[in-house]
C-alpha cells in the first residue's frame, strides 16, 4: 500500500493499483472506500484499464457508503459509452444481486463479445452452458480454453476456475471427469490445482481412491499450499477417507489457519466436541469466533450450541441468543429452530443486553467477509511479469 501510495501522485497505474487494493482491503473504513473510489475514478479518467470492475464492486458491496450512486444506472451509462469493462460490471451486478439465473442470455452475449479480451468470461460462459445443460457449446468452449492456455493467452489460474465450475454440483449437471482432466493438465505448473483436484475427488469419490487423494494432497503440501493442509486436516477430522485422528487433524489444520478460515472452524469443533479427550471451551470460542467473523456461517451455529449447552463451561443464554441470531444468515432449518429455542430461554430482562451485544458483533464484522467470487477473480493479478508502475 505504501509503495502504491507514494507513486499515486503521478502514476495513473499506481492510482489504479492503490484503489483496487483499498477496495478489497479487509476491515477497510468508509474513508478508505471513498478514497478507493476517488483513485479509481482518477485512473479511469487517465485511460487506465481495469478500473470499472473494482469501482462497480465498491458501489454494489457498500451502498451505504455511496447512497448517491445508483449502481445499475452507472453501469448502464458505462455500457452506453462503449467501455469494454462495462459489460462485465453488469454481470457482476447480476451475481451480487442474485439475478444471474434470470439473465443467462445477456451474460452469454456480453461474455462472447469480451472473451478474447477478458478471460474471466471463460468462467462465466462455462457457468451459463452448464446451467442450461448445453454440452456441445461447453465442449467447444473447453477446446477453445485448452488452445488459449497452450498458446499462453490464458493462465492456469483461469483454467482452474473453469474446472471448479465443471465440478460444481450446484450448477446444472457437473462434468467432473473433464474437470479432473483440465486440472491434471495444469497442476504440475500451478500447484494450487493439486488441492482443487483433491477437493474434486472428495466431492466425486468415483474419480479415484485414497492413494490418488494422498497423491494430490502430498503434491499440494510439497508446494506449501495451505489448502492442502486444510483438506488433509478435514479428512482426519471426518474419518471418511482415512481413520479419524483428532491429533493429526489438529496438526494439519493449524498449518492452514494463516490463510484458510475454515481451518479455524474445524479446530473450534475439535475443541468444542472434546475430540482430543477433553473439551477446551475457550480455545473453541476463540477459533469459532475467528471463523464466524471470517464469513463461516456454520461457526455461528456452533457457537450458539456451545453457549447453550455449556459443555465444559457454564451455559450463557445471552451469548447463545446472539450467535443463534447470527446463525440465521445460513438459512437452515436447524438455525431457525435453535434461534427460536434460544429466544424462549433468554430471560426478558437480559434481552436489551443481548441486542446490544448483537449490534456490537455485527459492527465488528462490517460488510460481508466473503467477497464476490467474480470480483475477486477480476481483481487478482497473479500473472507473471506484472507490469511496472
Residue 366 has pLDDT above 80, yes or no: no
* Residue 365 pLDDT: 81
Among 12, 3, 6, which residue's Cα sits nearest to residue 49? 12
Residue bearing cell 460444481: 168
Q: What is the pTM of this model?
A: 0.81
What's the pLDDT band for 330 if we cut at 50, 70, 90?
confident
* Residue 134 pLDDT: 98
Residue 4 has pLDDT above 80, yes or no: no
Among 62, 116, 120, which residue's Cα sits nearest to residue 89? 120
**Angle (CA) 118 228 57, round 5°:** 35
Residue 298 has pLDDT above 70, yes or no: yes
373 Cβ neighbours under 8 A, 6+ residues apart: 95
What's the pLDDT band for 387 if we cut at 50, 70, 90?
very low
- Per-residue pLDDT of 55-100, as tens digits, reads 999 999 999 999 999 999 999 999 999 998 999 999 999 999 899 9
**Residue 142: all three cell numbers together:** 473447453
278, burial (CB in 10 Å: exposed 0-12, middle 13-18, buried 19+): exposed
* Residue 363 pLDDT: 86
Give me the residue spans of the domains in the chain: 1-99
> What's the whole-number average pLDDT of the chain?
91
- Helix intervals (H) in 204-332: 210-222, 226-238, 246-256, 261-273, 281-293, 297-309, 317-327
Among 151, 152, 154, which residue's Cα sits nearest to residue 125? 154
**Residue 311: all three cell numbers together:** 459443555
Residue 382 has pLDDT above 70, yes or no: no
DSSP 231-251: HHHHHHHHTSSS---HHHHHH
- Per-residue pLDDT of 134-187, as tens digits, reads 999 999 999 999 999 999 999 999 999 999 999 999 999 999 999 999 999 999
> Distances from the Cα of 83 to the Cαs of 41, 317, 356, 383, in angstroms?
14, 54, 46, 23
* Residue 384 pLDDT: 38
**Angle (CA) 70 44 67, round 5°:** 20
* Residue 180 pLDDT: 99
**Residue 70: all three cell numbers together:** 445508483
Are 54 and 36 contacting, i.e. CB atoms less than 8 angstroms apart?
yes
How far is residue 199's CA from residue 181's CA, in Å, rounded to a whole number?
A: 14
Residue 237 has pLDDT above 80, yes or no: yes
CA 135 to chain centre: 27
Are 71 and 99 contacting, i.e. CB atoms less than 8 angstroms apart?
no
* Residue 65 pLDDT: 94
> Distances from the Cα of 276 to the Cαs of 29, 247, 280, 363, in angstroms?
40, 7, 9, 34
Among 369, 347, 281, 359, which residue's Cα sits nearest to residue 322? 359
Residue 10 has pLDDT above 80, yes or no: no
Amino acid at each position: 500500500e505504501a509503495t502504491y501510495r507514494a507513486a499515486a501522485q503521478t502514476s495513473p497505474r499506481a492510482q489504479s493499483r492503490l484503489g483496487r487494493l483499498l477496495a478489497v482491503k479487509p476491515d477497510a473504513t468508509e474513508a478508505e472506500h471513498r478514497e478507493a473510489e476517488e483513485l479509481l475514478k482518477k485512473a479511469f479518467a487517465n485511460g487506465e484499464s481495469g478500473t470499472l470492475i473494482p469501482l462497480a464492486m465498491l458501489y454494489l458491496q457498500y451502498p451505504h457508503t455511496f447512497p448517491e450512486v445508483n449502481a445499475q444506472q452507472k453501469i448502464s451509462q458505462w455500457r452506453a459509452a462503449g467501455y469494454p469493462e462495462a459489460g462485465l460490471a453488469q454481470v457482476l451486478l447480476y451475481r451480487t444481486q442474485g439475478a444471474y439465473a434470470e439473465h443467462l442470455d445477456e451474460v452469454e452475449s456480453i461474455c462472447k463479445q469480451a472473451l478474447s479480451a477478458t478471460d474471466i468470461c471463460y468462467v462465466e460462459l462455462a457457468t451459463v452452458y452448464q446451467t442450461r445443460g448445453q454440452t456441445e457449446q461447453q465442449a467447444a468452449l473447453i477446446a477453445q480454453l485448452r488452445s488459449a492456455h497452450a498458446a499462453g493467452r490464458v493462465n492456469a489460474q483461469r483454467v482452474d476456475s473453469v474446472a471448479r465450475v465443471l465440478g460444481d454440483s450446484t450448477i446444472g449437471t457437473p462434468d467432473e471427469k473433464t474437470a479432473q482432466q483440465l486440472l491434471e493438465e495444469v497442476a504440475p505448473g500451478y500447484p494450487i490445482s493439486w488441492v482443487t483436484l483433491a477437493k474434486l475427488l472428495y466431492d466425486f469419490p468415483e474419480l479415484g481412491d485414497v492413494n490418488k487423494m494422498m497423491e494430490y494432497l502430498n503434491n499440494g503440501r510439497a508446494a506449501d499450499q495451505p489448502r492442502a493442509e486444510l483438506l488433509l486436516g478435514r479428512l482426519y477430522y471426518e474419518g471418511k477417507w482415512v481413520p479419524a485422528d483428532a491429533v493429526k487433524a489438529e496438526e494439519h489444520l493449524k498449518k492452514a489457519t494463516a490463510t484458510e478460515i475454515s481451518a479455524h472452524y474445524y479446530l473450534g469443533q475439535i475443541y468444542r466436541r472434546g475430540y482430543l479427550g477433553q473439551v477446551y471451551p475457550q480455545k473453541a470460542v476463540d477459533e469459532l469466533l475467528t471463523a464466524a467473523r471470517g464469513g463461516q456461517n456454520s461457526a455461528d451455529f456452533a457457537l450458539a450450541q456451545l453457549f447453550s449447552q455449556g459443555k465444559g463451561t457454564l451455559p450463557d443464554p445471552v451469548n447463545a441468543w446472539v450467535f443463534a441470531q447470527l446463525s440465521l444468515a445460513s438459512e437452515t432449518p436447524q438455525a431457525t429452530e435453535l434461534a427460536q429455542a434460544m429466544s424462549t430461554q433468554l430471560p426478558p430482562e437480559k434481552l436489551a443486553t443481548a441486542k446490544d451485544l448483537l449490534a456490537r458483533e455485527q459492527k465488528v464484522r462490517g460488510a460481508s467477509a466473503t467477497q464476490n467470487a467474480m470480483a475477486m477473480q477480476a481483481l487478482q493479478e497473479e500473472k507473471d511479469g506484472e507490469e511496472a508502475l
